[in-house]
Amino acid sequence: MADVEILGFAHPSFGAVKDAFAANFAEGRELGARFSLVREGETVVDLHAGFADRARTRPFGADTLATLFSTTKALAALMMARLVDQRRLAYDQPVAEVWPEFAQAGKAAITVEQALSHQAGLCGFVEPMEPSLWFDWQAICDRLAAMAPIWPPGTASGYHPLTYGYLAGEIFRRVDGRTLGRALHEDLAEPFGLDIWIGLPDAEHDRVAQVQRPSALPDFGEINAATRAAFLSPWSQPGGRPEAEWRRIEVPSANGHATALALARLFGALADDGWLDGEQILSPALIGELSRERIGGQDLVLPFEMSWAAGVFRNAPLKAWGPAEQSFGHSGWGGSCVFADPERRLGGAYVMNKQSTDLVGDARPKRLIEAAYAAL
C-alpha cells in the first residue's frame, strides 16, 4: 500500500497529519481508512484512502460507511444527554422510574448514570442463551430486567460491550417513545446532513466497507466472571443471522455506521459549546455533565484503569486521543474512535475497515491525533 493515493484535504498547518496518514498505509497498517478534524466548527482535516473491500476492488471513498462497533456508544451517550438537557430524564434518576420491570433482582436503586457508566453489573449474561437472541430487542431487555447484577452496582465499573446499548436504548425508548436510532436520524443526522446511522436501511448497505478482522483476540488481561460474561462466552456475541440483518437492527452500543467527517462534525460541536451549523444541539452545562467522571479506577472487564463519564470515557488516564486530559469520547473494537476536546474546541474521528487487536488506543489514530496536536 506504499503507493496508495491520499484523497481529501488537510489545512496547510496540518500537513504532518497527512504525512502520518500516508505512513499508516505505507507501513501496511491499513486497508481503508478516513480521518477528520473539526476545529471551532471548521473542517481542517478530512482524509481518506485505500479500499472498502478485502479484494481491493472498491475505493474507500468519501461516501463509504464504516462500521463503528463501540464508537457507537458515544452517539447513544449524546442522545441520552439531550433527554437530560430537555429535562425529560435525570442522570441521578433510578432506571426503574422509567422502566419499572428493571427493579427486579435488587436493581431498584441503579441510576441512569450508573447504567451509562458501566456500574450496573450487567455486562453480559451468565446463563447460556442462543447467540441469535441478540436480534430480539424485547427478549434481551427482559433478560436484563430480570437479571441479578454480577457485582454490587455502584462499587466498580465493568465494561458492558453489548448490553450498554440495550440499557440506554430501552431507557430512551421509555422516555421518548421512539427508538434511539430513529431519534438520532430524525433529530440530528437528517437535519444536519450527518451520514450517521444506528439501524442501517437496506438502500445504504452497498456503501458499507467490508471489515478485515484481526487474526487474534484482544488481550483482556486477567479473566474473571465479568470478562467471561461480557466477551468470552459462546453467547456473548450475536450469531446465527446474516450480516445484513445485524446492520438493519438498532443496537446503540455496537452497530452504528458513519463517516469520520460526520462523527467529527458532531463531536466538534460538543467541543464548541454544542454549536453545529448555527444551532445548539446540547447546552454547555450538559456537555459538562455528560463528560464528568462518574467512576474511575481499574475496570472489572477491560484491562485498564478507566475514567467513565455518562456513556463516554475521559482521555485521562489512558491518553488515547492526544495530551488533553479533559477530552472525552469513545473507541470501538478494531480501532475506530471519536473525541471532543472542549479546551481547544477540537473534535475528531477515525474510521477504518482493517481491525487491530487493540481495545483502546489503537496506534494508527494515536499517531494521527498526536500529529494534529503538534500542529496546534
Cell numbers given for 148? 441479578
Q: What is the pLDDT of residue 181?
A: 98
Question: 340: part of which helix (H) or strand (E)?
Answer: strand 337-341
The pLDDT of residue 2 is above 70 = no
The dihedrals phi and psi of 253, each to the nearest 5 degrees, come to -115, -15
Q: What is the pLDDT of residue 359?
A: 84
Q: What is the pLDDT of residue 288?
A: 98
- Give residues with Cβ within 8 angstroms of 91, minimum separation 6: 84, 111, 112, 113, 116, 289, 310
pTM: 0.97
Cell numbers given for 52? 472498502
Q: Which residues pair with 255 in a beta bridge?
A: 69
Cell numbers given for 120? 450496573
The pLDDT of residue 68 is above 70 = yes
- In tens, the pLDDT along 190-206 reads 999 999 999 999 999 99
Distance CA 297, CA 282 (A): 28
Which of 13, 36, 70, 157 is an active site residue?
70
Closest residue by Cα to residue 161 from 225, 83, 71:
71
Mean pLDDT computed over 271-295: 98
Mean pLDDT computed over 21-49: 97
**Residue 70 annotated among the catalytic residues of the structure:** yes
Residue type, position 297, single letter? G
The pLDDT of residue 218 is above 90 = no
Distance CA 222, CA 230 (A): 13
Cell numbers given for 144? 436484563
DSSP state of 5: P
- Give residues with Cβ within 8 angstroms of 35, minimum separation 6: 17, 21, 45, 46, 47, 48, 260, 348, 349, 350, 365, 368
For 34-43, 150-159, 174-183, 314-323, which range has the lowest pLDDT when averaged over its residues?
314-323
- In tens, the pLDDT along 129-145 reads 999 999 999 999 999 99
Instruction: Find out whether 368 and 17 touch, Cβ atoms under 8 Å.
Output: yes
Output the furthest CA–CA distance in the chain (Å, rounded).
Answer: 59
Instruction: Find out whether 37 and 16 touch, Cβ atoms under 8 Å.
Output: no
Distance CA 311, CA 113 (A): 8
Instruction: Find out whether 352 and 364 touch, Cβ atoms under 8 Å.
Output: yes
Mean pLDDT computed over 56-67: 97
The CA dihedral of 159, 163, 164, 166, to the nearest 10 degrees, is 180
**Percentage above 90 pLDDT, the chain:** 96
Q: How many angstroms separate the Cα of 34 from the Cα of each of 64, 65, 91, 200, 240?
A: 9, 10, 34, 20, 31
Q: How many angstroms separate the Cα of 177 from the Cα of each of 50, 77, 173, 183, 266?
A: 41, 17, 5, 9, 23
